[in-house]
Every structure is written in C-alpha cells, then in structure tokens.
Homo-oligomer: A and B are copies of this chain.
Amino acid sequence: MTRIGIIGYGNLGRGVECAVKQNDDMELKYVFTRRDPSNVHILTDSAKVMPAADITKYKDDIDVLIICGGSATDLPKQTPEYAKSFNVIDSFDTHAKIPEHFANVDKSAKDSGHIALISVGWDPGMFSLNRVYASSILPDGEDYTFWGRGVSQGHSDAIRRIDGVADARQYTCPVTDAIEAVRSGKQPVLTTRQKHTRECYVVAKEGADKARIEKEIKEMPNYFADYDTTVTFITQEELDRDHKGIPHGGMVIRSGKTGWDCENSHVIEYSLNLDSNPEFTASVLIAYARAAMRMRSEGVTGCKTVLDIPPAYLSSLSGDELRSHML
C-alpha cells in the first residue's frame, strides 16, 4: 500500500481523495490544511485532518505527499519546502516558470534524498507527453493544441473583478473549422482568434450597466481582446443550475510528413473530454504517485517530470501482465 498525504483541500485535493478510493494499492492517511481542521470535513473515514503547520511530524507515515496548492503563489514555495521531508507531486502549471521551479525542487529533493514530480496533470502533463511522442516520431511537422470546451478559472475570475459583476463563468471553446483544417494535414497557420472563442455567462449586480460590463469584458487585453467573445447575462439561479460543473478538455494534434520526398501525410491526435477537470487531474496525480514510489524504491532522487517516467511505472500491473494484456 502506498500511503498518501494531501495538502490543500479544495477541488483538486478532494479529487485526489476520490482517486485514492479508486486504486486498491493506495491509502489516504492525512489531509493537511491551513484552515482550522475541525472545519474541514473529508469523505474518507479512515483518514485524519491535521494542521498544515504540523505536517513534518507525519513524515514517516506518508509515502507520497500530493501538493494541491495553486501555481501562482503556493507551489513555488510549498514544493521545494515539502520535498525536504517527503516524496512529493504537484501540478504546477505556469509553463514559463517550469525551468525555475524544476531547479528549486530538484535541489531540495536531491539534498534530502526524496523524489519530486512536478507539473503532473493534463497540460502540462498528458498533453506534454503527447507533444514529445508525436514530434519525436514526425520531426517534419507542426504541433497544435486546442483547449475546451471547458471552464477557465482564470478568465472567470477576471470577469468577476469587473465593477458590477456578481458572478461569472467563462468557457474556452475550440473552433471546429480550425480543428478540421489541422486534421486535414494542411498544417495551417492559425491566429489566436482563429483557434478559440470565449463564452462568458455573467450575473450582473442589480442596477449595473450591462452594456459597459460587456464592453469591458470584450476589450480586456490578454484575456478577451484577441478572441471572438460572447457575453450572456443570466441570473445567479441560472448560473448555479446550468454552470456548476467544471468540465474541460482539448486536444494535441501533430501533423507531419514522411517519405523520401515528404510525400505522405500523417495526423496524430490526442484528445480529452472531461466532466471534471480537477478530478481528472487528480487521477493523473495518483497514477504518478505509484510511479514515484517505484522510482524511489530503485534509488532515484531529485525532480522529475512526466517526460522522465516510463509508462509501465504508472500501472498497477506487472511487466509480465502488461506485455501479455496491454502491449
């Protein structure tokens, strides 16, 4: 049994708890929280909620600590810190800062003799894997990544910060024509606007100027100005009823050529259609917790990413079983 600890009990932490339940070789021991533990109610009877401040007291009771904090401020501090005492996994997703995060976590994990997996999830994560496999197989080609249809928390938050907005939910949507053009093998050059649209469902406060809110959303730089954006005003009841899920997904497509004169086209596509973004991410984290344990038992220390892990290490099946049934 791999003994799992969770630090941070939001949507992702709860997803990890559910994923542990689905894997017979995993056991949730502790959930650590910065809140008052008596106010945090978890689903697993056999696990305990403890204050985050006391976490190192439990280092001998946990094989892998899943760090479920945010990438902006939590993980850059937490992952190097906790890697001093635990084997850790995070889902750090600020792509541009991965090299810096990797260096910090690698030093901490190597110095203390632990293994640390960072940026585990689906993007970065499974999408990254597929970019590497596909571009290695088809060196003469182009990569395309589409996201959605799915909820973007960052864009939803950006709308909520506008004066007069009570609540909001934003969906990122891939453009069907762009996907079809890529699938055809034509290797089109696509602008930001051609690849995705943005759908916004907004609850306005009473008396708020809806025309002004819509204009502010559509003209917001970086978030919306470069996209075809639709704004639909709805009631709080409608938002709670129709938009409470956290679906997401997307696809990585590589289109490339082979042959002596590059005369043949090939398209490799990996796609995800997810009812729950945090629960799927959590399921990836737990599969990699198994891999982390295997690598640590072989003496591996330091920071690793999904690109460094043999696929077989994620499975609960043995090498013999995998070769007999999955290969």
Which residue of the partner chain, among B129, B269, B324, contacts A271 with CB atoms under 8 Å?
A: B269
Q: What residues of B have a CB within 8 angstroms of the CB of A312 in the complex?
A: 132, 307-308
Which residue of the partner chain, among B119, B133, B183, contacts A327 with CB atoms under 8 Å?
A: B119
Which residue of the partner chain, among B18, B133, B275, B284, contacts A311 with CB atoms under 8 Å?
A: B133
Per assembly, the copies of the chain total: 2
Which residue of the partner chain, among B137, B282, B290, B308, contacts A283 with CB atoms under 8 Å?
A: B137
Q: Are B258 and A315 in contact (CB under 8 A)?
A: no
Contacts A/B (CB < 8 Å), 28 sampled: A17-B260, A18-B258, A21-B260, A22-B140, A23-B139, A98-B324, A119-B327, A129-B133, A129-B311, A132-B311, A132-B312, A133-B311, A136-B311, A136-B314, A138-B283, A139-B316, A258-B275, A258-B283, A264-B274, A266-B275, A269-B270, A269-B273, A305-B323, A306-B327, A307-B312, A307-B322, A307-B327, A311-B311
Q: Which A residues are closer than 8 A to B by beta carbons? A: 15, 17-19, 21-23, 43, 95, 98-99, 102, 119, 124, 126, 128-133, 135-140, 183, 185, 258-260, 264-276, 279-280, 282-284, 287, 290, 305-312, 314-316, 319-320, 322-324, 326-327
> A18-B260, A266-B273, A269-B270 known; 5 other A-B pairs, CB under 8 Å?
A131-B326, A132-B315, A258-B280, A270-B270, A307-B319
